[in-house]
Amino acid sequence: MIIVNRDSAAIIDTAHGSKIRPLIDRTTSNITQCSLAEETLPPGCTVTPHHHREMEEVYYIVCGSGVMTVGDETQTVRAGDSIYVPRGHRHTLTNTGAEPIKLILVCGPAFSYEDQVFESES
């Protein structure tokens, strides 16, 4: 059994200003088919537009609000919303609120940096 407590998880500072805590992923276990992480996006920050070659994602907004774009569709999102991001679809999230957005990220297969393609690389 592998247990990773959020408070002991490593923190990754991203170029766009968010903090990601990988919980169960390739860095903490031998998992390959899915992964789980927590991300905190400060007010005014935007996740760098990107897509994944193989991976699909689910974003679950725990607190905060913002604007999510997946492909050509843009919608306001808030605490309690789950957003499905299909493989190959460009996506981004902007925090338009006054408080940080805290979200849970579920990826399948498990997240890997090699699968991530940023807009400038497309």
CA-only gyration radius of the chain, Å: 14
pLDDT tens, position by position, 34-81:
999 999 999 999 999 999 999 999 999 999 999 999 999 999 999 999
Kindly list the structural domains of the chain, giving each domain's residue range(s) and its CATH number in brackets, ordered by start: 34-121 (2.60.120.10)
Global pTM exceeds 0.85: yes
The HSE-up count of residue 81 (CA atoms within 13 Å, CB side) is 17
* Sequence-separated contacts (24+) of 72-79 with Cβ below 8 Å: none
pLDDT of residue 6: 95
pLDDT tens, position by position, 70-108:
999 999 999 999 999 999 999 999 999 999 999 999 999
Residues 6+ away with beta carbon under 8 Å from 73 = none
